[in-house]
């Protein structure tokens, strides 16, 4: 896939990682204590281990940072745009002129080669005729 498409895919991936991160954290965060007057919130269910809740932000943020680093690497790999639009258009015009010239040269060579091929075929025909004429049938 070309590099600009990769960059676009990566931007979308970063967006997906970001909202997955926030969504997961919001969904899985344990309830917070509102004020010292209210008692502690009831104990969380055993499915939410403290380790799980503490690991997830680390993993997800690591993924986010990795994606951002990939983005920087890809941006560095972009071919530097030498000149601008006008320089490119000028180069295209030059290349077209050169292409036409080389095309005409090719055409000339082809025609000369075709003529020579015809000559050789003519000679071959004559030689074959002579051979046939020399060999009389029995």
Residues that bind another protein (CB under 8 A): 2, 4, 7-8, 11, 14-15, 18, 22, 26, 64-65, 68, 71-72, 75-76, 78-81, 84-85, 88-89, 91-92, 95-96, 98-99, 102-103, 105-106, 109-110, 112-113, 116, 120
Q: Are 63 and 17 in contact (CB under 8 A)?
A: yes
- Rg over alpha carbons for the chain, rounded to the nearest Å, is 38
Angle, helices 3-28/50-77, rounded to nearest 10 degrees: 160
The least CB distance from residue 38 to another protein, in Å, is 19
Nearer Cβ to another protein, position 45 or 133? Answer: 133
The least CB distance from residue 111 to another protein, in Å, is 10
Rounded CA separation 68/21 (Å): 14
């Amino acid at each position: 896939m070309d590099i600009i498409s990769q960059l676009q895919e990566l931007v979308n991936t970063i967006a997906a990682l970001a909202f997955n991160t926030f969504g997961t954290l919001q969904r899985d965060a344990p309830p917070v204590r509102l004020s010292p007057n209210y008692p502690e919130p009831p104990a969380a269910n055993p499915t939410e281990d403290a380790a799980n809740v503490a690991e997830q932000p680390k993993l997800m943020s690591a993924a986010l940072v990795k994606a951002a680093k990939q983005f920087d690497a890809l941006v560095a790999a972009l071919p530097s745009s030498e000149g601008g639009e006008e320089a490119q258009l000028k180069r295209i015009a030059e290349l077209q002129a050169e292409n036409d010239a080389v095309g005409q040269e090719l055409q000339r060579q082809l025609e000369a080669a075709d003529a020579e091929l015809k000559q050789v075929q003519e000679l071959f025909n004559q030689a074959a005729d002579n051979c046939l004429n020399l060999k009389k049938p029995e």
